[in-house]
Structure 1
Amino acid sequence: MIPSFKAHPWHGISAGENAPEVVNVFVEIVPTDTIKYEVDKETGYLKVDRPQKFSNIIPALYGFIPRTYCEEEVKNLAVATGAADVTEGDHDPLDICVLSSHNITSGNILMEAIPIGGFQMIDKGEADDKIIAVLVEDQVYGHIRDISELPKAEINRLLHYFLSYKNLPTEPAKVKIDLVYGADHAKKVILASQKDYTDNYAK
C-alpha cells in the first residue's frame, strides 16, 4: 500500500542504514539562498527563519541528520574534549554541511553524505556541533574521507561563515569554535546525537 502522507523529515526518515559511516541529510539551505530556511519542528514543512542580513552566505549545502538531537550526550562529548563553558545541547537536530561540486539550486531535498569531520561550536553555552561531509560519489569531493584532506582555504571559508553568520556589527561575537575535528570524532558526535534522539523521542 502506498502511504498517503509525507514523512516528517526529522522524525519520519532514518539517519541511514550505514550511519554514521554514511548518513541521510535533509538539506534546508543551499549556497545561493539569501533567506535562512529551516524545518518547522511541528509540521515538517520548510519555513522562513530569517532573511540573511549581511553578505555571509552559506558556502555549502546545509541541513540536518534525521532522527538526531543535541542534548546531554552531545554536551558531555563536548565537555570531554575540553569545552569548559558548555552547559547543554542546543535542542535541535544535528547540523551538517555537505560539500559538492554540483550546483544544487534549492533545498527541501534528501541526499546521502559521508561525514569527514566537524566543528565543535559553542553558542552561548550550548553545544551546536556542525558536521562536515561530502556528497556520496561527488566527482570532486567524493573521495575525501577526513577533513585533513581538504584545502585549508576550504576549512577557513566554512569557519568564517559559522563564526560570523549570527553576528551584528554592534554586538560582541555570540559563538566560538575551539575544535576542528576529523572523521572519527564526527562519527562519535553523530552516535551521541542519535542516543539523545532516542532518549527524548523514542520512549
Structure 2
Amino acid sequence: MIPNFKAHPWHGISAGQNAPEVVQVYVEIVPSDTIKYEVDKESGYLKIDRPQKFSNIIPALYGFIPRTYCDEGVKKLAVESGSEDVSSGDHDPLDILVLSSHNIHAGNFLMDAIPIGGFKMIDKGEADDKIVAVMVGDQSYGHFRDISELPAAEINRLQHYFLTYKNLPTETSKCRIDLVYGADHAREVVVASQKDYAARFGG
C-alpha cells in the first residue's frame, strides 16, 4: 500500500486554475487567534510564530497564495509604482487577507478568493505586498470586485493593523504603505510572485 502524504501547502498545492482572477489561499490565521501561526517552510506544518503582543487582532482571514514568492519581480513592481529604498522582495510567499462575513474558528485550510486590491507595503526595505481579497460566494463581501468599492473605514482598519501589529506602543513603525492599489495591480502582483517562484524553485 502506498502511504498518503500531506502536500506541502506552499510547494505542493497550486494557486488555482483561474489565478490570478480567482486564487487558492492557504489560511494560517483567523480573526479570533491571539497567536500568530505561520507555515514552517521546511515541513509544511503550521507552527506558532509568536503570541500577539497586544489587543491588535488580525482583521480578516490571513494566509498566502501557494507557489508564489516575493523577489525581484515583486520588487520591480514596487519600484515602478513609486516606492523608493526597496532592496528586494521579502523572500516569502505572497500574503493575502480574505474578507468574509463568516465566523471561522481555526486556520490550516484552503479556500478560493477573488483579489480586489492590495497594499504596497515596504517592511525594512523589502517589498511585502498584502493582497486584499473576498471569499468566493460570501454574502456580505463576495460581490466586491475592487478595493475602491469598500468603505474608507474598512480600508483604514486593514492598513492600521499592518502598520502596527509588530510594534510596541512606544516604537515607531518600521514599515510603511506606499500605495493602496486596485484589482488590476493586485493581479499583476500575483503573476509577478508566481514568476518569482518559478525562477527560485522551478516549475
TM-score, length-scaled by structure 2 = 0.98
Q: Give the deviation of 1:5 after TM superposition.
A: 0.5
Unaligned runs of 5+ in 1: none
SS at match of 1:176: strand
Task: Give the corresponding residue for 1:20.
Answer: 20
Q: Give the deviation of 1:178 after TM superposition.
A: 1.2
Percentage of pairs with the same residue: 78
Task: Give the corresponding residue for 1:143.
Answer: 143
Matches of 2:143 and 2:34 in 1, distance apart? 30
Deviations 1:72-121 (A, max 9, x none): 00001100000011110000000000000000110000000000000000
RMSD: 1.2
Task: Give the corresponding residue for 2:160.
Answer: 160
Deviations 1:137-194 (A, max 9, x none): 0011001000011111111110000010011123221110010000000000000000
Q: 1:2 to 1:19 in 2, by over 3 A?
A: farther
SS at match of 1:96: strand
Task: Choose 162-171 or 180-189, whichever is displaced more.
Answer: 162-171
Q: 1:103 to 1:79 in 2, by over 3 A?
A: same
Deviations 1:114-135 (A, max 9, x none): 0000000000000000000000
Task: Give the corresponding residue for 1:67.
Answer: 67
Name the aligned partner's letter for residue 154 of structure 1. E
Matches of 2:72 and 2:189 in 1, distance apart? 11
Q: 1:172 to 1:5 in 2, by over 3 A?
A: same
Moved >4 Å (runs of 4+) = none
Alignment of 1:1-203 (within 5 A): 4-202=4-202
Deviations 1:7-56 (A, max 9, x none): 00000000000000000000000000000000000000000000001111
Task: Choose 149-158 or 167-176, whichever is displaced more.
Answer: 167-176
Unaligned runs of 5+ in 2: none
Name the aligned partner's letter for residue 201 of structure 2. Y
Q: Give the deviation of 1:3 after TM superposition.
A: 6.5
Q: Give the deviation of 1:2 after TM superposition.
A: 7.7
TM-score, length-scaled by structure 1 = 0.98
